[in-house]
Amino acid sequence: MKEKNPWHTPVTIIITVIGVIAIVALVTVAVLQNRPLAQKYKYGIVLDAGSSHTALYIYEWPAEKDNNTGRVEQTHSCKVKGPGISSYASAPSRAGESLRDCMQEAKLRVPGKRHLETPLYLGATAGMRLLNIENSSASDVVFHAVEEALQKSPFSFQGARILSGQEEGAFGWVTVNYLDDRLKQGLETTGALDLGGASTQISFVSDNFDGSESPENAVAFRLYGNDYNLYTHSFLCYGKDQALRMVLAQQTQSGPGTILDPCFHPGYNETKNYSVLYDSPCVSDRKPQGAPATFTHLGKGNFSQCLDVVKSIFNFTYCRYSQCSFNGVFQPLLQGPFGAFSAYYFVMNFLNLTDTSIPLDTVRKKLTSYCSTPWDQIKQQHPDVKVKYLAEYCFSGTYILTLLTEGYNFTSESYPNIKFIKKIKGSDAGWTLGYMLNLTNMIPAEAPDSPPLPHAGYVSIVTVIAILLFVLFILSLRPLWPRCSKQPQII
Ligand SMILES: Nc1nc2c(ncn2[C@@H]2O[C@H](COP(=O)(O)OP(=O)(O)OP(=O)(O)O)[C@@H](O)[C@H]2O)c(=O)[nH]1
């Protein structure tokens, strides 16, 4: 006699099949609905029209996550051949033409179907600030030429403008802290030190700065639910190229035919033009009267004398605030770590001085030895380095050291807080990323809500609940269950 299984009734079999199908359907829908979608990207392009050159940066971020930090990355950069756009004042159409190759690269790098929606910005810095001071109609004509060229691109051109020094400093600070993921996490921020060709910026948050003492140096931000009172100052004419002009102007005040410059290597010998040297608002009012057309620029290679002449371009004699950096500019107490980029990095990297644990005295000794090295020997040792850069590293290293220690008051204790950087997580340190994040509203004032559960957690919970519901359902059908008699049924 075979015993009949009480579960093998049509009702229980149908309920079980329907239940299993329902669970499978429920879990499948949960998985499909919440499956990560194939990644789509958006793009943004920023042209940094600096005093010495123009550079193009392409940024990329996942299309559905515009509001999350740490996700925008630089995917490409292109250095425009030739000088900065401010140098094209006498041939403005060439300013537009100079951008052609990099714009062509951008067209290839950004997928064609995204061209129309990709914002394109051009921001000009100290070179155009100076041209605008010197000759505002010439700067308008240059802008008109670059705008005309960029309007022809397939991207969504959002305009070209001159950034104020304050914007340049503040956006550089945003870039550094965004890339380091410090803003979203509300961590202590990093100060930003930017050394360009025509201006230099210092930006940091300090506990003893609320903006009241010097409101013109204050920028207030609310980012991801945190408030920041940023101190920032841009020194026009204190970028490394204009600072060199000021140092040379200091040495040619009397209009000599020859100068023996301690900031250039012994054996350096170049004929330079007075009108070219003094063709900048940073020095033009000091042009010596009755000077010859040219002067002979000879190198002497003496670091301590170079320090003296470099110091002479800073004014430390007056300060109407509780404390100043130089030229009567307010600066609160330095605080926290600093990232130093652009020319700070190029110069210190070349001089093998990016390691800030090297004591300042050793840095001075290294510069003393480097500056005194004969020019021929320097050229022989670095055949691949552009001669213009090579000739100026002694001056530039001395200038950076003076700016940081005498200008901004970094001491032996605080100097190691500086990190010389070029890139952070693959993106160049500079104002461009911060500028784009601001214009595209990609950093929210308040912290974005994050989903309560990750995808895997969500699917697991749906599965467990579905099985539980099914078991409860089966249990609730108990009255319908076939009764089990104690006596085995005889068939
Ligand atoms: N040694 C070296 N110097 C560089 C290099 N690229 C740029 N420079 C110089 O570094 C200085 C700063 O360059 P940038 O950061 O591009 O400055 P910029 O945007 O032209 O100048 P601003 O308009 O003042 O911001 C300039 O004097 C450049 O000539 C490089 O690859 N090596």
How does pLDDT run across 409-418, given as a tens digit for each residue?
A: 999 999 999 9
Q: Mean pLDDT over all residues of the chain? A: 91
Question: Is any atom of ligand 1 closer than 6 Å to the C-beta of 126?
Answer: yes
Distance 139 CA to ligand 1 centre (A): 20
pLDDT of residue 134: 95
Annotated catalytic sites, by residue?
168
Distances (CA, A) of 255 to 131, 223, 348: 25, 53, 33
189 C-alpha to center of ligand 1: Å? 25
Q: Is 50 annotated as a binding residue?
A: no
pLDDT tens-digit profile of 370-404? 999 999 999 999 999 999 999 999 999 999 999 99
Specify the pLDDT at position 488.
Answer: 47
Give the atom of ligand 1 at the shortest distance from the alpha carbon of 342. Answer: 15
Q: Please, which contacts does 477-483 make with residues 24 or more away whose CB atoms are closer than 8 Å?
A: 477/15, 480/11, 481/6, 481/12, 482/6, 482/7, 482/9, 482/12, 483/6
Ligand 1 atom with the smallest distance to the CA of 48 is 19
| CA–centroid distance for 398 within its chain | 25
Ligand 1 atom 9: residue of nearest CA: 343
- pLDDT average, residue stretch 150-172: 98
User: Which ipTM did the prediction report?
Assistant: 0.99
Q: Are 277 and 249 in contact (CB under 8 A)?
A: yes
First and final CA of the chain: distance in angstroms? 6
For ligand 1, what atom is nearest to the CA of residue 168?
25
User: Is the Cβ–Cβ distance between 209 and 332 less than 8 Å?
Assistant: yes
Rounded to 5°, the CA angle 414-416-419 comes to 115
240-420 under CATH 3.40.50.1100, yes or no: no
The residue whose CB lies within 8 Å of the most ligand 1 atoms, and thus the one to mutate among 346, 347, 385, 428, is 346
| Averaged pLDDT, 281-296 | 96
Who wins on pLDDT, 339 or 449?
339
pLDDT tens per residue, range 106-132: 999 999 999 999 999 999 999 999 999
β-pair type (294-299, 269-273): antiparallel
The answer, yes or no, to whether residue 198 has pLDDT greater than 90, is: yes
pLDDT of residue 232: 98
Q: What is the mean pLDDT of residues 305-319?
A: 98
423-438 residue pLDDT tens: 999 999 999 999 999 9
Pairing of strands 418-420, 338-342: parallel
Q: What is the pLDDT of residue 26?
A: 67
User: Residue 458 pLDDT > 80, yes or no?
Assistant: no
> What's the 240 CA to ligand 1 centre distance in angstroms?
8
pLDDT attached to residue 475: 74
For residues 409 and 451, which has the higher predicted lDDT (pLDDT)? 409
pLDDT in tens, 245-278: 999 999 999 999 999 999 999 999 999 999 999 9
CA dist 263 and 402 (Å) reads 13
Q: Check residue 28 and give its pLDDT.
A: 74
85 alpha carbon to ligand 1 midpoint, in Å?
A: 14
Decide if pLDDT at 31 tops 70. Answer: no
Could you give the CA distance from residue 299 to residue 391 in angstroms, rounded to a whole number?
Answer: 10
Q: Phi and psi at residue 87, in whole multiples of 5°?
A: -80, -5
To the nearest whole percent, how much of the chain has pLDDT over 90? 80
Domain residue ranges of the chain, discontinuous segments joined by +:
10-35+452-480, 240-420
pLDDT at 1 over 50: no
pLDDT of residue 66: 57
Q: Which amino acid is at 125?
A: T
Q: What is the pLDDT of residue 462?
A: 66
Q: How confident is the model at residue 6 (pLDDT cuts 50, 70, 90)?
A: low
Does the beta carbon of 125 lie inside 6 Å of ligand 1?
yes
pLDDT over 80 at 228, yes or no: yes
Q: Is 199 annotated as a binding residue?
A: yes
Of residues 430 and 475, more confidence is placed in 430
Task: Tell whether the model's pLDDT for residue 83 goes beyond 50.
Answer: yes
User: Residue 41 has what pLDDT?
Assistant: 94
Distances in Å between the Cα of 132 and the Cα atoms of 86, 124, 146, 411, 427 are 9, 11, 15, 36, 30
For the segment 313-328, the average pLDDT, to the nearest whole number, is 98
Q: What is the mean pLDDT of residues 323-332?
A: 98
